[in-house]
């Protein structure tokens, strides 16, 4: 198992609500990426944080936002939840921004939007 | 942006047989190609990766090949075992995008005893 942890494990929300998901990166890792994995599909990149700054963003609307803290843990915030936001949200931590660096995934947060 | 296609979506083999999963990518700048295994309800775990300056890499029963000209890469699993049953994802990474991964759609591998 990796040292990446996520909370909560499961979450149920209703349309229009807001949600905050949390990720603690592996010790020594300063880069955190967030992915959305819909049922039966591959993970889709949301955004990446490197040393507290956004370092890249995928094709997700602005209601998906994030933060990275000085200890390199991270939050993913989603506003105005939609039914299609139901998915497994994965964070992955890396030691640096190089494309060769292995990404270590957390166990994910399963979000259900009703 | 990068696009990764993966085939087949499902693959069923007998225990002991070989399994091959193929992926193609669109951006010639991609230089890192990891493969992840995801068991039901669990996190994706890296099983093997290859860099663009290498054509083939092997780790025990698992091997990956890369053809940069054709922009495709493949995962080969020999002597399959029931515990190899899982969903496998290929991915590609582009230097200008940091280490953002673009994943394929996944292959569900079922190894029948």
Percent of chain B with pLDDT over 90: 84
d(CA B66, CA A25): 31
Size of interface A-B (CB pairs under 8 A): 74
A56 to chain B, any CB pair closer than 8 A? The answer is: yes
Q: Please report residues of A whose CB lies closer than 8 A to that of B106.
A: 40-42
At A63 the three-state DSSP class reads coil
A111 DSSP β-pair partners: A11, A87
- Which among B32, B89, B100 has CB closest to A100? B32
The answer to whether the CB atoms of B94 and A97 lie below 8 A apart is no
Say if residue B1's pLDDT is above 90: no
d(CA B87, CA A33): 21
Residue-wise pLDDT tens digits, A6-23: 999 999 999 999 999 999
The answer to whether the CB atoms of B43 and A101 lie below 8 A apart is no
The alpha carbon torsion through A110, A90, B48, B87 (nearest 10 deg) reads 20
Pairing outcome for strands B107-112 and B10-14: parallel
DSSP state of B78: -
> Average pLDDT, whole number, for chain B?
94
Say if residue A98's pLDDT is above 80: no
Q: Please report residues of A whose CB lies closer than 8 A to that of B51.
A: 100
At B91 the three-state DSSP class reads strand
């Amino acid at each position: 198992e990796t040292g990446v942890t996520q909370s909560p494990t499961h979450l149920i929300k209703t349309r229009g609500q807001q949600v905050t998901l949390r990720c603690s990166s592996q010790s020594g890792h300063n880069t955190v990426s967030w992915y959305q994995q819909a049922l039966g599909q591959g993970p889709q990149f949301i955004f990446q944080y490197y040393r507290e700054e956004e370092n890249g963003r995928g094709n997700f609307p602005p209601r998906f936002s994030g933060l990275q803290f000085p200890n390199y843990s991270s939050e993913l915030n989603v506003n105005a939840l939609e039914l299609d936001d139901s998915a497994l949200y994965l964070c992955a931590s890396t030691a640096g921004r190089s494309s060769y660096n292995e990404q270590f995934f957390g166990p994910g947060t399963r979000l259900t939007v009703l | 942006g990068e696009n990764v296609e993966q085939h087949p979506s499902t693959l069923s083999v007998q225990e002991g047989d070989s399994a091959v999963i193929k992926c193609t990518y669109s951006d010639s700048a991609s230089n890192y190609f990891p493969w992840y295994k995801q068991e039901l309800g669990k996190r994706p775990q890296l099983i093997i990766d290859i860099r663009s300056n290498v054509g083939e890499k092997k780790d025990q029963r698992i091997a990956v090949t890369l053809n940069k000209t054709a922009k495709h890469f493949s995962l080969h699993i020999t002597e399959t075992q029931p515990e190899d049953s899982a969903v496998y994802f290929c991915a590609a990474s582009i230097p200008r995008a940091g280490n953002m991964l673009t994943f394929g759609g996944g292959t569900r591998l079922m190894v029948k005893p």
